[in-house]
Amino acid sequence: MEFNHDIFLKHIAQTTSSPFLIDIESAEGTYLYTPEGTAYMDLISGVAVSNLGHKHPKVVEAIKKQVESHLHVMVYGEFVQSSPNLLAKKLTELLPNKLNCCYFTNSGTEANEGALKLAKRFTGRTEIISFRGAYHGSTHGSLSVSGNEVKKQAFRPLLPDVRFLAFNKIDDLNQITEKTACVIIEPIQGDAGVRIADQKYLQALRDRCTEVGALLIFDEIQTGIGRTGKLYAFEHYEVIPDILTTAKALGGGLPIGAFISSYEIMQTLTFEPMLGHITTFGGNPVSCAAALATLEAIEEERLLDKVENKGLLFESLLQHKKVKEIRRKGLMFAIEFETAEEVAQIVQYCLQHGVITFWFLSCPNSFRIAPPLNITDEEIKKACEVIKDALNSL
């Protein structure tokens, strides 16, 4: 195996000047392992991806079975394949009736790109409304509707006709009009530091979009697949979007995303022009097999029933005078401190003591916890001891 840091730093494009540089040889359950056998407890699930932990046996079995059958055989939408069919059937059985048609992509930002195109195509309108603090991805369209101006400035010009409203402010919703193609929102803003929408706010947003004919897009890329204690966060609110985007944890560790809407809305991508949206690898059969196994495992192991109690255990163990605020829904945490420097110290201390936490791009004075949903109570207690030691060292 090759763990040469010089190769990594010079021949693999870098996103920061200070990567963690941990050599990972294997992973299983809640743990990552170095070639020397050092174990790291993964409290961020690869940033909201490994909701079943690493190398879940049901997911691995499904991948092996599909690999023995076939890999990629054709671009999206031409050949009928069992694993995408079964995944679409499962997803639409789990979702409300109006979310009955899936378009599979390779990632979350691609899912959001497709959702934005679909909304413009269906409505014939151009205005897109998003929210301050939003994060929807790094491709041009997704970046255009994200709220972090520092991250966007170097890549302008971006999509025109995008407007931003204040998150959770009902009075701003009258700015959604008959010119608006869609409103894209995270029910819980992830990168902004787990900012949770109010029930009345999301209901008012739903009503306003319905009133003016704008499509409502819920970006559930971070919140989806059980992170909040429901399969998708919108289930807490009893507010159903016109388009749902999902990715990250959907594939159980393999890359996959989807935008999901009604058959009526989705069919507008098939004409004027034909191939209105197309992808080579979307709906990859191996990724779809892994995703189906992920959904089945969550059901069979009744993981959603256990999320809230595990979240409460974390919250009770992390009370500390240095903590300014804990924002949480299920097992999705932002733990806020006075400064970004304190967060950096905590993350480094935890890393040195075998626990992986992380920060938020747009909320650097908070650190994130988003562990596998099947983390044990004993593992939670062990991790919190390290975090508390980190807080006491400040």
Query: Roughly how many angstroms between the first and final C-alpha of the chain, as a whole number?
Result: 38
Residues 6+ apart with CB under 8 A from 201: 168, 169, 170
Supply the pLDDT for residue 261.
98
DSSP E strands in the chain: the ranges are: 26-28, 31-33, 39-42, 101-105, 127-131, 162-165, 180-185, 188-189, 195-196, 215-219, 243-246, 257-261, 325-329, 332-336, 355-356, 358-360, 363-369
Cβ-contact 382, 353 below 8 angstroms? no
pLDDT confidence tier of residue 1, bands split at 50, 70 and 90: confident
Asked if the model's pLDDT at residue 262 lies above 90, the reply is yes
pLDDT tens digits, one per residue of 224-235: 999 999 999 999
Supply the pLDDT for residue 2.
87
- What tokens were used for 147? 């709220």
Asked if the model's pLDDT at residue 298 lies above 90, the reply is yes
pLDDT tens digits, one per residue of 151-209: 999 999 999 999 999 999 999 999 999 999 999 999 999 999 999 999 999 999 999 99
Q: How many residues does the chain have?
A: 394
User: What single-letter DSSP state applies at residue 214?
Assistant: P
Give the residue among 151, 69, 170 at the shortest CA–CA distance from 109.
Answer: 151
Supply the pLDDT for residue 337.
97
- Domain ranges in the chain are 5-55+302-392, 57-300
- DSSP string over 335-377: EE-S-HHHHHHHHHHHHHTTEE-EEETTEEEEEEE---TT--H
Supply the pLDDT for residue 194.
98
Supply the pLDDT for residue 16.
86
* For range 346-356, the mean pLDDT: 97
- CB atoms closer than 10 angstroms to residue 174: 10
Cβ-contact 357, 44 below 8 angstroms? yes
Is residue 345 packed enough to be buried (19+ CB in 10 Å), middle (13-18) or exposed (0-12)? middle
Supply the pLDDT for residue 82.
97
For 50-82, give one letter per residue: b (16+ CB within 10 A) or e.
bbbbbebebbeebbeebeeeeeeeeebbeeebe
Within the chain, how many helices (H) and strands (E) appear? Answer: 14, 17
Amino acid of residue 176? I
Supply the pLDDT for residue 355.
98
- What tokens were used for 278? 């197309």
The span from the CA of 260 to the CA of 108, in Å, is 12
Beta bridge mates, 333:
328, 369
What is the four-CA torsion angle of 37, 11, 135, 239, rounded to 10 degrees? -60
Model's pTM, two decimal places? 0.97
For 245-282, give one letter per residue: b (16+ CB within 10 A) or e.
bbbbbbbbbbbbbbbbbbeebbebbeeeeeeebebeeb
Question: What pairing do the DSSP bridges indicate for beta strands 332-336 and 355-356?
Answer: unpaired
CATH number of the 57-300 domain: 3.40.640.10
Cβ-contact 260, 95 below 8 angstroms? yes
The span from the CA of 224 to the CA of 190, in Å, is 11
- CB atoms closer than 10 angstroms to residue 159: 15
CATH class as words, domain 5-55+302-392: alpha beta
State the chain's mean pLDDT as an integer.
97
pLDDT tens digits, one per residue of 13-36: 998 888 999 999 999 999 999 999
The span from the CA of 310 to the CA of 306, in Å, is 6
Instruction: Describe the chain by its helix, strand, coil percentages, rounded to 5.
Output: 40, 20, 40
